[in-house]
Structure 1
Amino acid sequence: MNPGRIRILAVGKVRKSWVREGLEVYRRRMPGLSIVELRDTDPVREAQAIRAELRSDEQLITLSEEGRTFRSRELAHHLNQSGSDRLAFVIGGADGLDPALRARAQWQLSLSALTFPHELARLLLLEQLYRAQTILQGGPYHRE
């Protein structure tokens, strides 16, 4: 898993300073990872903007409460075996993702059975991606 080949396409802006600070911690730890913020409108327009941002060589992964849940080690190995060098994680807005976009995803990820604000979901996703990276590299960050 190469953080330089991971993008997060997120609907909405991060307004809370403590979330921005947390995101910056993980961005420094994962140089090359990029986050694209998209305008918060309605699911259909958001899906159009997401499709316009997607690269043809990226594997689309949407975050959804209906998605698959993983333990951290399972997620690390799943990402490592994804079959693609480039991954695009999509976090929708308050009204969720357009069903057609979700159907286009190679797989859906659920961070929890709970629902989180998009800002917090973004922070949780970055933490789990960093954790997956350290698991795959054999680093000391992840402890069981």
Structure 2
Amino acid sequence: MLNVSRYKIIAIGKIKKKWIQTGIEMYLKRLPGLQVIEIKDSTQIKEEYTIKGILKKNEALVILNENGQSFSSKLLARKLLNFNNQNITFVIGGATGLSQSLNNFAILQLSLSPLTFPHEIARLLLIEQLYRAKTITQGSPYHKE
């Protein structure tokens, strides 16, 4: 089973749309232990410095990136299980994306879709997919075939 307390999300920018915040709050209630850290939208270099300052040595970095690997929900759940007990930090960039050196530093670049989304929607989608991955590993009926 997936242990979401090992996961952290670093997101650049604040959620401004109430309906997105409501959706995020709903999934966060279902994912106790999932930590979400918002950092101020700035330059790529400043954002990289802040992100690296938040990362701990035992955390694997997963970057959300439109050019990253795409997985089905079931394959993503399996991929997350394959990290065993490693702590994972997901990073969602702002409008200008993340620096190339931060992308290169990541152990995985993940794409939620070939479509481009505002960072607020990407955050909601990521949190929902983490919840879905948890339910898949628990055998819950939330994820329908």
By the TM > 0.5 criterion, same fold? yes
Structure 1 unaligned residues grouped into runs of 5+: none
Deviation string 1:24-54 (CA, Å, 9 cap, x unpaired) is: 0010000000100001001111111100011
Identity score, percent = 49
Q: Which amino acid aligns with 1:116?
A: F
Cα distance per residue 1:97-119 (max 9 Å; x no partner) = 00000000001100000000000
1:27-106 matches, cutoff 5 A: 27-106=28-107
How far, CA to CA, are the matches of 2:35 and 2:122 in structure 1?
Answer: 16
Does the 8 Å contact 1:58/1:84 carry over to 2?
Answer: no
Q: Distance in 1 between matches of 2:32 and 2:96?
A: 31
How far residue 55 of structure 1 moved from its aligned partner, in angstroms, is 1.1
Please list every run of at least 4 consecutive aligned residues from structure 1 whose deviation after the TM superposition is greater than 2 angstroms: none
Task: Please list the CA deviations of residues 52-108 of structure 1 after superposition, one character each: whole Å capped at 9, or x if unmatched.
Answer: 011111110000011000000000000000244211000011000000000000011
Summarize the alignment of residues 101-140 of structure 1 with structure 2, pairs less than 5 Å apart.
101-140=102-141
Would you say 1:142 and 2:143 are equivalent positions?
A: yes
Partner AA of 2:83 in structure 1: S
Conserved? CA contact 2:6–2:85, under 8 Å? no
**Alignment: residue pair count:** 144
Q: Partner letter of residue 87 of structure 1? A: I
Task: Give the whole-Å Cα distance in 2 for the aligned partners of 1:134 and 1:59.
Answer: 22
Amino acid paired to 2:44:
P
Partner AA of 2:106 in structure 1: A
Unaligned 5+ residue runs, structure 2?
Answer: none
Counterpart residue identity of residue 107, structure 1: L
What CA RMSD, in Å, does the superposition of the two structures yield over aligned residues? 0.8
- The one-letter code of the counterpart of 2:57 is S
